[in-house]
Copies of this chain bind each other. A is one copy, B any other.
Amino acid sequence: MIKAGIIGATGYAGEELVRILLQHREAEIIWYGSRSYIEQKYADVYRNFFQVVEESCLDDNMDELCKQVDVIFTATPQGYLAGMINEQILSNAKVIDLSADFRIKDVKVYEEWYKINHKSPQYIYEAVYGLCEINREQIRGARLIANPGCYTTCSILTLYPLVKEGIIDENSIIVDAKSGTTGAGRGAKVNNLFCEVNENIKAYGVLTHRHTPEIEEQLSYACSGNIKMIFTPHLVPMNRGILVTAYADLKKEASYEEVRAAYDKYYEKEKFVRVLEKDVYPETRYVQGSNYVDVNFKLDMRTHRVVAMGALDNVVKGAAGQAVQNMNLIFGLPEDEGLTQLPMCF
């Protein structure tokens, strides 16, 4: 039985980690860490777990925590883990970080987009970018996982075959993304109040969103290039889900079958990536509550472009689900253990 600790268990991603791990047959949670709710019963914060979770919240003392567990999930603000991580922690427990601290290899890029000094750059190269479908082998041996961002997971998996196979001009990529409001976190801000989000759609972080360099870096690896792209996130009045609509110029004419073959090449054997049938497009409801990513594409011969689309649940495959998938890989468990819950489409 894998012993797991969670730092940031009372945020939305933390709650999903709890929900998933409680249904995992090979793991148990022994530390519900929370800065705001110390000593309060966890089930008083998330009452869906009434009579299910009896534990109270503990603090975020990683030095103590690492002695008691096999794996630590950090669902914490940017900069937190970089300020805490050390050799002792890493030698005691695997660390799966849901923040961005170790996602970006170029520390200057990190500091520029996040406006934070990185306090532990020495661990950046050790950290494995935990996008399971792409980096499966490196993940198996890792001590420190940089769990990908929600928009990033969706954007990369949507575009990966097109970039990797050289189908699109990698400098022409535009990603227009739409997210449910759990993506904004559980902080008490006026902007996230019900009456400010409901009956509205808006773009935010236009040309400045921090997931931009993360997507660029990972897609650049795929094509050995140096991608610059536009990424525009939008806030949608719903709880869960990300939909990515991506646009790019075709390098040359391509048939549906050729492009489809590229998607199949990478995803045919992937349980969690579903390439939809022709002319069927992803909808967030069909992945809701699950670890699936649904992707598809359409070619436009009028403009010589491709429209590629992807949908996932931002708190599952975009956060907690992928974190557990990473844990399964590290510990040699079936990759889908704890992640077999089917989507709830309404």
Q: Contacts A48-B286, A342-B49 given; indicate if A207 touches B298 (C-beta within 8 A).
A: yes
> Which B residues touch A174, using CB under 8 A?
174, 247, 305
Q: How far is the CB of A310 from chain B (nearest CB, A)?
A: 11
A176 close to B (CB within 8 Å) = yes
In the A-B complex, list the 9 residue pairs whose CB atoms are closest, starting with the nearest.
A48-B343, A202-B283, A200-B285, A194-B197, A176-B176, A48-B345, A181-B194, A188-B188, A48-B286
A125 close to B (CB within 8 Å) = no
Q: CA A76 – CA B289 in complex, angstroms? A: 27
Q: Mark A272-286, 1 if CB is under 8 A from B, else 0.
A: 001010001111111
A341 close to B (CB within 8 Å) = yes
Known: A23-B342, A234-B245. 19 other contacts (CB 8 A): A12-B195, A15-B346, A47-B276, A48-B287, A48-B290, A48-B345, A176-B176, A181-B194, A194-B194, A195-B239, A198-B238, A198-B239, A201-B241, A201-B284, A202-B282, A202-B311, A206-B309, A207-B298, A207-B302
> Which B residues touch A303, using CB under 8 A?
171, 228-230
Copies of this chain held together in the complex: 4
Q: CA A243 – CA B203 in complex, angstroms? A: 9
Q: Which residue of B lies closest to A300 (CB)?
A: B207
The reply to whether A342 and B22 form a contact with Cβ atoms under 8 Å apart is yes
Q: CA A19 – CA B285 in complex, angstroms? A: 14
Q: CA A151 – CA B141 in complex, angstroms? A: 51
The reply to whether A195 and B203 form a contact with Cβ atoms under 8 Å apart is no
> Which B residues touch A180, using CB under 8 A?
195, 199
Q: Which residues of A, 203-248, contact B by the 8 Å Cβ criterion?
A: 203-204, 206-207, 228-230, 232, 234, 236-241, 243, 245, 247
Q: Residue A199 contacts which of B196, B199, B311 (CB distance < 8 angstroms)?
A: B199
The reply to whether B186 and A189 form a contact with Cβ atoms under 8 Å apart is no
Query: Which residues does A use to contact B, with CB under 8 Å?
Result: 12, 15, 19, 22-23, 46-52, 171, 174, 176, 178, 180-182, 184, 186, 188-190, 192-204, 206-207, 228-230, 232, 234, 236-241, 243, 245, 247, 274, 276, 280-290, 294, 298, 300, 302-303, 305, 307, 309, 311, 340-346
Q: Which residue of B lies closest to A296 (CB)?
A: B206
> Which B residues touch A192, using CB under 8 A?
193-194
The reply to whether A195 and B182 form a contact with Cβ atoms under 8 Å apart is yes
> Which B residues touch A19, using CB under 8 A?
342, 344
The reply to whether A23 and B340 form a contact with Cβ atoms under 8 Å apart is yes
Q: How far is the CB of A2 from chain B (nearest CB, A)?
A: 19
The reply to whether A232 and B342 form a contact with Cβ atoms under 8 Å apart is no
> Which B residues touch A199, using CB under 8 A?
180, 199, 238-241, 284-285, 288, 346
Q: Which of A182, A194, A196, A309 has the most CB of B within 10 A?
A: A194
Q: Contacts A195-B346, A241-B200 given; indicate if A50 touches B230 (C-beta within 8 A).
A: no
> Which B residues touch A182, using CB under 8 A?
195, 346
> Which B residues touch A189, using CB under 8 A?
188
